[in-house]
Structure 1
Amino acid sequence: MNYSKNILYKASGLVLFATLILTQSCKKSFLDVPRQAQQPAAQFWKTGDDAKAAVSAAYANLHEWTNIAFAPMAIESVGSDDTEKGSSATDATFMNDYDNFTVTAGQGQLGDFWSGEYKTINFANQVITRVPAIEMDANLKARYIAECKFIRAYAYFRLVRAFGDVPLRLAPPKDASEYNIPRTAKAQIWAAIETDLTDAAAVLPQSYGAADVGRITKGAALSLHAKAAMYQQKWADVLSFTNQVKGLGYSLFPNYEQMFRTNNENNSESIFEIQSDLIPGNPDASNSQYSQIQGVRGSTGGGWGFNVPTQNLADAFETGDPRRDASIIFRGETTPEGDAIPATGDNPMYNQKSYVPFGMFVTGYNEGVQQNIRVIRYADVLLMNAEAANELGDATTAIASLELVKARARGSNAAILPKFTTPDKDALRTAIWKERRVELSQEYDRYFDVIRQGRGLAVFGPKGWKANKNEVWPIPQNEIDLSFGVLTQNQGYN
């Protein structure tokens, strides 16, 4: 595992741990930050350049190990019926505990995920709290704060889905007495998320110039707000936010498979991607391992072979649906980019959405380090719009949004993926849920989708999922211990 270098900035007695990109050669220029020791720590939070560096650090932190690698794979993916541990049978066997729901509070990925999200929140809180006092361009200041409100909302969104009630911290601790705080009711967490996203959407631009492509936009804030509302079944809000996004100029990328390749990052369908890059001469800063841990296992693919698709997922695609072959690398195939996959090996399938062509690998760097992580796509927004419209009794709008997604997959082959035409609410709901699965497979939504739909026992029960327990994961035991019992455990976990 490679980790990027740390820079410590002291701010009013609090140390800001900044995982920064330490180069000026990155093509995503908004991630550029000062080199270590270039500026005395005591002078930080004084200038517009300081604000820029702090926001860049918040962005760079998003592709750090605990945010995009093993812990999110365990918490957000392996428990679903889309994926399983993968790799060799004896490698990282602890991951099976998430697949069969035997995980206990002491398992390390829980703590990694928790600390990773609170580290992200700390980055955002530093900016939101410190930048207002800096004398700088007022519009840029407001935008920086809005970007970090989105980042904070995104971290809390991930936490509340995973654990339910969690501590709500909206500013850096002023002294030691403020470090140890109890869990906050999840309704208040959702409210804080929505407040941040409302604030962010009011300030963020619809788009950026070429040098800032990949920064957080108004569309991202509205889309994540729609998703937060969907988890609370606030269907009128979901419909309103997704309708607003539909008016911002996004469009479905024509080629589903090519949409996930590195040369098509930040395309017309992209609403929020975590930016990653291979920075020449700086492997430590080129630290994303998202693609590497899921890549084709063995000397050919260079990946670790984790988080592999299940046969259950492969069978979920309708006959002829091109998204099946675009989402799954099958053992023995040749990819559209010309990479021959060995016919034998530990795993029969791999995640094609995280795939980077082997010819792009560079010695000394993590395989696939260039791959952005697609977090919110326009197809997701259309399917949220369809689901909300259906729940509100508007079958016409629901079918129209659903059909846009199916039509892109169908292409010119009218013989596959027939149009859905019945206005029956229950049948349409089932069709939308099925479309979410195949369209968004392996994009870390399926597990929580099934739970919010109230189908956890029906879908995951055969794997060991239990009602009134596994709706959430256990609070990390190390966090409970460090709190001296201020933090309490979720129901059903010891």
Structure 2
Amino acid sequence: MKKNKFLTILFSIAGLISINSCEEYLDVESLSNTAEKQQFDSASDTFSALVGVYNATMGDNTYGQRMNLILSQSGDDMRTSGDYNANDRRGVSCFGAIPTNTELIRPFLDTYAGIERANLVIKNIPLSPVMQTGSEADKKLMNRYLGEALTLRAHFYHDLIKNWGDVPFQDVPSADLPDLYLAKTDRDIIYDKILDDLLKAEDLVPWRSEANTTAQRISKAAVKGLRARIALARAGYSLRRNPQMMMQGSNPQKYYQIAYDECKDIINSGQHQLNSSYEGLFRSLHTNTPDATNEIIYAIGAFGGNSRTDSKIGYYNGLRHDDTDWKSSGGINAIPVYFYEFTKYDLRRDVNIAIFRVNTSKQADLQTSINWNDGKFRKSWTSITGTSQNLGIDWPLLRYSDILLMFAEADNEIHNGPSQEAINAVMAVRQRAYAGNLGQVGTIPTDKTGFFNFIVKERMLEFGGEGLRKYDLIRWNLLETKINETRQKLTQFMNGTGAYTNVPEYIFYKKPASSVSNYVPTKTAQQNVLDIDFYLNGIAKADVFYSPNQSVSTPSGYTKVNWRLAMTQPYISGDPVKSYAYYFQPNRKELLPIAADVINSNYKLTQDYGY
């Protein structure tokens, strides 16, 4: 696959960086004062140091797998596949992770490695001789690098806070600290610091068009969008240490205003638009094709075919392939009732949720409702075949649709109800989802509570499988509520009551001849579903998921697949190994435990939250 120029430069330089990775928590970088000065004595050398900061966002331990696909599970859209184990990825998804869980230590340590690298860049750029005697062009470049490093550091701290709450804070390199053993800093103090840093970075980093750069490089819109996201987190709820309960941040209106202003600046800039194709947007990530509309404001790059710089996106998660050409594991399952949050007209449904897997003959095998996968990432949408687990798929950290919905949310809070601008922003997202069926978009509420609830659901539909939902629910203090609602919905789904009265108990479909491969990855996700040969019994194919069964007998030549019948009580509650969110406890499990080895390395660091 062809990568953009920035990533090509990034990875060619990565092996030459003289700033070494911080392999353990708060390790001091092994640079002498002389070596540190030499690293920043030119714009080109400084860029190589900045590359090291970007590099810390990549690979298995951060946005190649763990930070975005494992720690983000589960909300009310997706969960990790498989049975509960306190010491692996499934422990995280069931809210039962313990301090020895193997998924916790590397994201924490590698994120601090990124902070250490960013601190070195942020410290040394103002001290560089380039800033004193260099050309104006080089000074401008150095300031841009400074803005990018400030933004990346803010991103790193946001990742730490949303997963672990209060954490040790340092904004200078470890070598400059009088004491390496740092206690936790209140998250609001950290948030306020990084929000100020991002405000500074806005003036240093150019708009994408001004720099002729791509989504893998931080632009002014990326800075502003991240600042809006962090401001909403600061305004919202989080699990506090004392008292140990979910509490809203102080002075929330101030932070809603920040989010509103930043999003409005991006909207007014004309730099970014919605891609007309929701599916096409995600396909472009698989082929590294530039998104002409620039909807993807910032994507974390993946490159190199290894666990340090590439990603397992599309292999670990996404549509499951059992065939040898596109072998992938399908490690994330869609919660069955998530499928029914979408209407049959919503084009996002079949992109977000894969109700089939591809068998060894490249045929679409319809799956029972408890075995559906997330579908936005599919190995068969790449050009990579065979058993490779690293597919070079970038992670879309920030999209323009998020800007529109954050703007609408902040507008609603500031004005005690939505303005027409806010309604229009949400409508734009809806209309893209209902392209070809605009009459089915529905009415957007205009009262504050109704509009907020509409956004809560719209974000669920728009960002399913993108690692945002759990954190959204936490900042709204809705995680407990939505987990309980989901259990109630699953019970209704199992019993065929309420909204699921017309959901079939089972579905019949006919497999093609063994020599026929009926899964065609170039077709749309919706067409892949419609290509399945369902037994219709007089109903339209689009209605097969919404019509109760008329016959119990399996028609000749068809295979019976349990739909509602796949749902059983152990999936819902009562089974400590299989039940959805079984170990969740309010005012405790909104945050993860810090890895035991990290706690043991710093006598000032406390575990908290009953872990």
TM-score normalised by the shorter chain: which range applies? 0.7 to 0.9
Contact 2:59 2:302 in 1 (8 A): no
> Among 257, 264, 287, which residue is 2:310 paired with?
287
* 175-184 or 45-54, which deviates more: 175-184
State the 1:402 CA deviation.
1.0
Secondary structure of 1:491's counterpart equals: coil
Contact 1:286 1:365 in 2 (8 A): no
Counterpart-to-counterpart distance in 2, 1:122 and 1:192: 16
User: Which one is further off, 31-40 or 471-480?
Assistant: 31-40
Task: Give the C-alpha shift of residue 148 in structure 1.
Answer: 0.8
Q: Work out whether residues 128 and 148 of structure 1, in 8 Å CA contact, stay in contact via their aligned partners in 2.
A: yes
- Which of 273, 281, 285 aligns to 2:299? It is 273
Task: Name the CA distance, whole Å, in 1 between partners of 2:269 and 2:262.
Answer: 11
- The residue number in structure 1 matching 2:59 is 64
1:409 to 2:439 alignment? no
> Residue type of the partner of 2:597?
N
SS in 2 for 1:375: strand
Q: Are positions 1:185 and 2:206 aligned together?
A: no
Distance in structure 2 (CA, Å) of the matches to 1:49 and 1:75: 36
2:65 maps to 1:44: no
SS in 1 for 2:103: helix
Contact 1:383–1:432 at 8 Å: present in 2 too? yes
- Amino acid of the structure 1 residue aligned with 2:54: Y
**Contact 1:201–1:222 under 8 Å retained in 2:** yes
Matched letter for residue 471 of structure 1: E
Q: Over residues 240-264 of structure 1, what are the superposed CA-to-partner deviations in whole Å (9 max), with x where a residue is unaligned?
A: 1111111121110000011011344
For residue 371 of structure 2, the aligned residue among 340, 344, 348 is 348
Note if 1:419 corresponds to 2:538: no
Partners of 2:290 and 2:4 lie apart in 1 by: 19
* Aligned 8 A contact 1:26 1:32 in 2: no
Distance 2:17 2:88 in 1: 42
Residue in structure 1 matched with residue 408 of structure 2 by the alignment: 386
Structure 1 stretch displaced more, 195-204 or 259-268: 259-268
- 1:482/1:285 Cα in 2 relative to 1: closer, same or farther (>3 Å)? closer
**Distance in 1 between the 2:58 and 2:70 partners?**
16
- CA distance, structure 2, for counterparts of residue 96 and residue 285 of structure 1: 23
Q: Structure 1 residues 71, 275: CA separation in 2 closer, same or farther (over 3 Å shift)? A: closer
Equivalent of 1:318, from 326, 332, 343?
343
Q: For residues 351-374 of structure 1, give each alpha carbon's deviation from its aligned partner in whole angstroms, at most 9, with x where no partner exists.
A: 22222425611558534x221100
Give the distance between the partners of 1:130 and 1:239, measured in 2 at CA. Answer: 33
Q: Which amino acid aligns with 1:353?
A: K
* Of 217, 220, 223, the match for 2:219: 217
Report the CA distance shift for 1:309/1:453 in structure 2 as closer, same or farther (over 3 A). same
Pair 468,310 (structure 1): closer, same or farther in 2 beyond 3 Å: same
> 1:77·1:83 contact (CA, 8 Å) conserved in 2?
no
**Does the aligned pair in 2 maintain the 1:257–1:327 contact within 8 Å?**
no
Q: Are residues 1:438 and 2:461 paired?
A: yes
Number of aligned pairs?
A: 460
> How far apart, CA to CA, are the structure 2 residues paired with 1:49 and 1:93?
44
Please give the per-residue CA displacement for 1:392-412, whole angstroms capped at 9, x wherever unaligned.
224233212111110111113
Contact 1:77–1:442 at 8 Å: present in 2 too?
no
The answer to whether the aligner puts 1:376 opposite 2:377 as a matched pair is: no
| SS of alignment partner, residue 227 of structure 1 | helix
Against the structure 1 CA distance between its residues 26 and 101, is the aligned structure 2 distance closer, same or farther, given a 3 Å change threshold? same
* SS state at 1:169 partner: coil
Match 1:253 to one of 271, 275, 281: 275
Deviations 1:435-470 (A, max 9, x none): 011001111110011111111221225534222212
In structure 2, the gaps of 5 or more residues are: 20-30, 131-137, 236-254, 488-580
Which residue matches 2:145?
144
User: In the superposition, relative to structure 1, how do residues 275 and 37 fare at CA in structure 2: closer, same or farther (>3 Å)?
Assistant: closer
Q: Find the counterpart in structure 2 of residue 472 from structure 1.
A: 591
Deviates more, 1:115-124 or 1:208-217: 208-217
Which residue of the partner structure matches residue 28 of structure 1? 7
Measured against aligned partners, the alpha-carbon deviations of 1:86-130 in whole angstroms (never above 9, x if no partner) come to 2x5599973222222222122122212211211121221121122
Determine the C-alpha separation between the residues in 2 that align with 1:221 and 1:52: 18
Displacement of 1:32: 4.3
Does the C-alpha gap of structure 1 residues 167 and 444 become closer, same or farther in structure 2, counting only changes over 3 Å? Answer: same
Contact 1:76–1:445 (Cα < 8 Å) also in 2: no
Q: Please give the alpha-carbon distance, in whole angstroms, between the structure 2 residues aligned to 1:167 and 1:75.
A: 23
Check 1:284–1:114 CA distance in 2 against 1; reply closer, same or farther (3 A cut). closer
Relative to structure 1, the CA distance from residue 399 to residue 155 in structure 2 (aligned partners, 3 Å threshold; closer, same or farther) is: same
Letter in 2 for 1:110: L
Give, as a single letter, the amino acid of the residue that structure 2 aligns with 1:483. N
Q: Distance in 1 between matches of 2:50 and 2:185?
A: 27
Question: RMSD over aligned Cα, in angstroms?
Answer: 3.0
Correspondent of 1:238 among 241, 244, 259: 259
Q: Distance in 1 between matches of 2:446 and 2:382?
A: 48
Determine helix, strand or coil for the equivalent of 1:376. strand
Cα deviation code 1:192-244 (max 9, x no counterpart): 22022111111110115556553101101111111111112222222111111
What is the SS of the residue equivalent to 1:407?
helix
Q: Distance in 1 between matches of 2:178 and 2:85?
A: 42
Q: 1:452 aligns with which of 456, 475, 485?
A: 475
> Unmatched 5+ residue regions in structure 1?
1-23
Secondary structure of residue in 2 paired with 1:304: coil
- Partner-residue secondary structure (3-state), 1:147: helix
Between the aligned partners of 1:213 and 1:74, the Cα distance in structure 2 is: 20
C-alpha displacement at 1:286, in angstroms? 5.8
Q: Secondary structure at the match of 1:454?
A: coil
- Counterparts of 1:242 and 1:170, CA distance in 2: 27
Distance 1:344 1:127 in 2: 50
Q: Which moved more, 1:152-161 or 1:176-185?
A: 176-185
Give the equivalent residue in structure 1 for 2:171: 170
Are the aligned partners of 2:336 and 2:369 in contact in 1 as well (CA < 8 Å)? Answer: no
CA contact (8 A) 1:319 1:416 kept: no
Question: Do the aligned partners of residues 348 and 256 (structure 1) sit closer, same or farther apart at CA in structure 2, a change above 3 Å counting?
Answer: same
Distance 2:590 2:213 in 1: 42
Q: Contact (CA 8 Å) 1:475, 1:489: kept in 2 or not?
A: yes
